[in-house]
Amino acid sequence: MILKSIYDRKIFILSLVLTLFLLLTFQPKANSSEKDPSEVLSQLGSAMAKVSEQVKPSIVNISTTRLIKAQRHPFFDDPFFRRFFGDELQRQQTRKVTNLGSGVIATSDGFILTNNHVIEGAEDILVKLSNNKEYKGRVVGKDKRTDLAVIQIDEKNLPTIKWGDSDKLRVGEVVLAIGNPYGLNQTITMGIVSALGRSGIGITDYEDFIQTDAAINPGNSGGALVNARGELMGINTAIFSTTGGYQGIGFAIPANMAKNIMNSIINQGKVTRGWLGVHIQPLTPELVKQFNLKDDKGVLLSDVVEGGPAEKGGLKRGDVIVEYEGKSVESPVSLRNMVAATAPGQSVKIRVIRDSKPLFINVIIGELPADPQIASLSQPSNTFRGISVQELTDDFLKKSGITRKIKGVVVSGIDDASPALGKLKEGDIITEINRQPVSGVAEFNSISSKVKQEQDVLLSVIREGSWLYLVIPAKSN
């Protein structure tokens, strides 16, 4: 027992010593993970400086000049003044207007990406590099729908911007805006990405803007928005301001969109966009209910253009597009941008909901026509009371510019007491009621008379050549 006790005591002491050794050996030093704040700031500043040095050589200053006709004072037409000044008054007065902007060197052989509004109407374009060398620029191509343009200078081996993937950009990322605000060359401001996918602003036809609080001012247009790795994320294009200066909200065109437009201009001499051949509208709670959908994700096809890519691929009116090439379709704007970015001739997989069931359809994308049809949307009506209709004739179709053989009825009148007043319009063509085809007045009367007061109604209507669905919410008459 004594031996065992001595043995146990030795084991205990040995364990204690080993434990103390481990604690002393691996005990973290106080504040070892903490860094001096000045060191952190110094490292951040050094990193931003390196990014700036890397990107600045690929940013240029663009100045343009154009002549505009000056408005002549009315007294120039007075005979009294004409006696003294003679033919001098007959000459049209002109003045020179200058404009300043920025640009990004996209290729080493002189192609520069900028905004269309920077070079719009310019007679002379002067490009100034970061080394102060100046070159005369020429317009290669431009696209008003995205406010992008490509110009070129005669020089080789130029420093170029590093392209990034703007689809991977996240809200909150640090970004730098580089350009020439107010003509101050190579100005750099820092901020974060405030929002993504901004649209409906009214700046361009195709909007998918990156919003940032990096200071952007007049002259920054066409400059670069880069991330912390110095990769091009966008082309600065506009600001939201009530004063004309910086107020914390600026917009940039995503680099991926800009790259597609630039490559199309350089390689094809024009901008080509994909075309699906559909009229679309957003989903409302009423439409979600009518089409037995689980949620409002996707867009509704209110019409499929006859002979267009969608019709050839098998898409139908009433389909709800929820995915395009594996990407979720959140709104009509997002679908429009995705289709436009697709090369004509490319086959795409589209996921739709048809009759409450998912379906995959492959469609070969066409090329957007020069003057495509645009769907017009209206407010839904809510009752048939007080609505007069008449038969749809070939003469009416011809006058309306509709070449397809359509069946339906024409709204010929709406009483002042009708709840549909100001909603349905005279001249609207009703082709379906609750998904039931309407071939004439008799069928219209038959179907509409069976609609119950508490029942919502879904109409398919043609207005000014465009198809759309209207939901009539049930209301007490």
Nearest to residue 348, comparing CAs of 271, 276, 268, 261?
276
| pLDDT exceeds cutoff 60 at 257 | yes
Beta bridge partners of 363: 348
pLDDT given at position 71: 57
**pLDDT, tens digit (0-9, with 9 covering 90-100), for 99-133:** 889 999 999 999 999 999 999 888 899 999 999 99
| pLDDT exceeds cutoff 80 at 11 | no
Give all domains of the chain, ordered by start, each with its CATH number: 56-152 (2.40.10.10), 162-268 (2.40.10.10), 274-367 (2.30.42.10), 387-472 (2.30.42.10)
Confidence of residue 439 (pLDDT cuts 50, 70, 90): confident
Percentage of the residues of the chain whose pLDDT score is greater than 70:
79
| pLDDT exceeds cutoff 80 at 385 | no
Distance CA 409, CA 428 (A): 8
Q: Show Cβ contacts of residue 76 under 8 Å, excluding neighbours closer than 6 positions.
A: 82, 89
> What letter does residue 87 receive in the DSSP assignment?
G
- CA dist list (Å): 437 to 215, 268, 303, 441: 56, 45, 15, 12
**pLDDT, tens digit (0-9, with 9 covering 90-100), for 339-369:** 999 999 999 999 999 998 999 999 999 998 7
**pLDDT, tens digit (0-9, with 9 covering 90-100), for 26-79:** 555 545 456 677 787 777 778 788 888 899 999 999 999 877 666 555 555 556
Distance CA 380, CA 268 (A): 43
Confidence of residue 374 (pLDDT cuts 50, 70, 90): very low
Q: What is the mean pLDDT of residues 308-331?
A: 93
Q: What is the mean pLDDT of residues 309-317?
A: 93
Q: Which residue has the higher pLDDT, 198 or 202?
A: 198
Q: Which span out of 215-224, 235-244, 378-387, 413-422 was modeled with the highest average pLDDT?
A: 215-224
| pLDDT exceeds cutoff 90 at 254 | yes
Cα dihedral: 300, 306, 308, 310 (round 10):
30
Percentage of the residues of the chain whose pLDDT score is greater than 90:
40
Q: What mean pLDDT value characterizes the chain?
A: 81
Cβ count within 10 A of residue 175: 23
Cβ count within 10 A of residue 444: 20
| pLDDT exceeds cutoff 90 at 241 | no
Mind telling me the catalytic residues? 117, 147, 221
pLDDT given at position 94: 67
Q: Which residue has the higher pLDDT, 439 or 353?
A: 353
pLDDT given at position 441: 79
pLDDT given at position 351: 96
Cβ–Cβ < 8 Å for 110, 266 = no
- CA dist list (Å): 378 to 309, 375, 424, 455, 469: 26, 10, 8, 21, 9
Cβ count within 10 A of residue 426: 10
Q: Which span out of 81-90, 202-211, 313-322, 443-452 was modeled with the highest average pLDDT?
A: 313-322
Separation of first and last alpha carbons in the chain: 103
Q: Which residue has the higher pLDDT, 88 or 206?
A: 206
Distance CA 301, CA 329 (A): 13
Q: Which span out of 171-180, 240-249, 387-396 was modeled with the highest average pLDDT?
A: 171-180
| pLDDT exceeds cutoff 90 at 195 | yes
| pLDDT exceeds cutoff 90 at 472 | no
Q: What is the mean pLDDT of residues 189-208?
A: 88
